[in-house]
Structure formats: structure tokens, C-alpha cells
Amino acid sequence: MDPTLKLSELLAYCESESHKWRDWFQKNPAALEVKTDIAQATSAAVLLQHIVAVDLRYAQRLLGEPVTDYKALPTDAVSLFKIADEAFAKFRGFLASAKDDDWKVVLEFPTRSAGTLSASRKKIFIHSLLHSVRHWAQLATALRAAGFKQDWPHDFLMTDTMP
């Protein structure tokens, strides 16, 4: 038995969480207006945009595609979750086609808050997935505090990603 967590499994978990959030926000659109102070986001909607922007922009970097300008991204949830699906498709595409040496390639890129950084494609891929997990957890807490409880457990242990 291979005890190693595969990136495809972590990606599947992140995509599943995104879909649960999409469905939940469709039923609870007022929650998008909840005020936050997370990652320079002043509301749940702006934090959603941030999560999706990071996913899309890093997926584009991994594939060597032009990177979408942050300001060009929409702010409405319906459009953002469609873009999230596009980003996950790009991550899956990179994961399926990348050779061992591709993961080691170091990319240099500008960030919004930390200046210019460089990291291997592997580090970028993992960062993107952990970034969304971290911000979804922060958002879940902020929304619960504002009276918007989610109707599913967020923990990896309670997902159907793996047995």
C-alpha cells in the first residue's frame, strides 16, 4: 500500500469543497455581503474572488499561459465559480501532462502583496491548493460568526476523496 497523499487526491478535495461552496452560496447569497478582514478582502464576495484569482492565475502560470489580470476578474459568485472550474481543469491538465522535470522548473512571478517571488512548479501547485483550503476555513469561521452556518463538514477526514 502506498501511504503517500497524491496531488490528484488533494486536488479532488479542493475541487469538491469549491463545488460545495458554490451550491451553498446559491442558497445563501446574502452571505456574500458578510464583512471580512481576510487577505485584503472586505467581504465574503471579495475573498471568494481572491481564492478563485489565485487558483486561476497559478494554474495559468503552471501551463505557461498568459496570466489573467486580477482586476479583470468578475466579482459575482456565479461567474467566479465558473472560473474556479476552469482553474481546476487547468490544474488537472497540468497534473496529467507534467513530466518529472516539469515539476522542478522554477518560475519567477509578481505577486500582489509580496513582490516578485520564485518557486518550483511543484511548490506553486501545492501552494495553490493549500491557499484555498486555508481561506475557505477562514471564510467558514467568519460566516458562522455572522450567523451563516454551512451544512457540510469541511474536514478532509469527512470527505469522499479517498477511503
Q: Which of 38, 42, 10, 13 is nearest to 135 (CA)?
A: 38
Q: Is the pLDDT of residue 2 over 70?
A: no
Which pLDDT score is estimated for 1? 57
| Residue 67: Cβ within 10 Å count | 13
- What local confidence, expressed as pLDDT, does residue 22 receive? 97
Enumerate the domain spans of the chain: 7-155
Please check the confidence at residue 131 and state whether its pLDDT lies above 80.
yes
The architecture that CATH gives domain 7-155 is Up-down Bundle (1.20)
Entry pTM: 0.93
Q: pLDDT tens-digit profile of 141-163? A: 999 999 999 998 888 778 777 66
- pLDDT averaged over the chain? 93
